[in-house]
Structure 1
């Protein structure tokens, strides 16, 4: 395992304690931008993390990527953030998914080279990044390959056609000021059409993980924004994971809007980061798929 890890990461060490380093991971469409956040002490856990942005926006510098990683780095975790290629200008499925999958494999081996056990190496993402993370897990399972030890999904979008909102979600959305993004069904479908480059109906299972078989999915933390038109997608996915025998921790963050990890000044962002930190510490002890 050590030799494989060193070969994949070109023999380079993860980085000095406390460092943040921009690197690249090899991928099928060319190098994938990654940023490695090394904690001060010897890392025990590692997380490969993908930002959101409706598949077409976002970067390694946005708070949902950089601020999240730095907070978890301070908590003692090794974090690799992924600058996947964005949909648009000829870039469509499966390119963003391929990039996240390539970064996961690279980050897993980097973590192994740093002494982190595979049972403590995780994958996750926010919003569209949550979709890409869940889709990468499904692709690994379909290929008969080992999935991450666990998955962190923050307010993910997992359906091209959002499930019906619960009465509580409808009441919460009614509190949004005029002009705020509500992620209603037409906007969600347009987002997926931009991702796949056409009609999302009949797209591969990894494009819409919320409609895919979930047997074998690893333990998951699902964080939900309270005031979010995509809330039903996350809630239904969590329920389907439970039905599939996966150990799921599903938490609704009170008072938050979609994308709250991208607003570190809001209390809900800090609360969710503390939940992620706590879950990463206990996840290896959770009961896996039935």
Structure 2
């Protein structure tokens, strides 16, 4: 069985972060491992509080995995402070896993700022050089462009997403998947590869407010599919189908935006829904 490590924050409501990453790994059929970077107090209404895990503990969690188990892919999510980003960067530099996807979590859907401006720059200049794929949403892509000194681009269409992806990929030398779930019209994602190939992934919008954890689920699904041997373009295609399934089976729980459901088809097969 392939083995995938998630390095991310914990979501007390179970809809995002480490919790949804591990559900995604299980549903796709890889063995999931985790290193927790922060503990959040959150629910379907939003993030209430974030408390960091020490950088040394983050590093020790990652070391414990790599020193014992072969890691086929890594997903990196929420990194709350500079020293944690640096701890993860150091570990990626030492262990050099075969594939690393970075979901550059900067701001929560509810508007909670999860990373300060200096930490965002350390992420861009220190960690991104050691990953294979970056998966920013529209706001995160705009933030990265601003850090690059290329701010001002209005990213509101597949065409402008491609422009943003090309600029970010050209600056970083990395594969970039710009996520367009927040487009006003039909959603699409745009993958710009490090060798300048472009792929568009169009999908019908699923009418639901229950999309908590979408970005976490998608990046984890990509990591899991790459670990299983699919090339990047196919891994993204399969991950897009997977997240559509998870949204279609989303759970209407809580008083806010409920979570996607990576285990949806498994629950159905077991007669649980």
Q: TM-score, normalised by structure 2?
A: 0.47
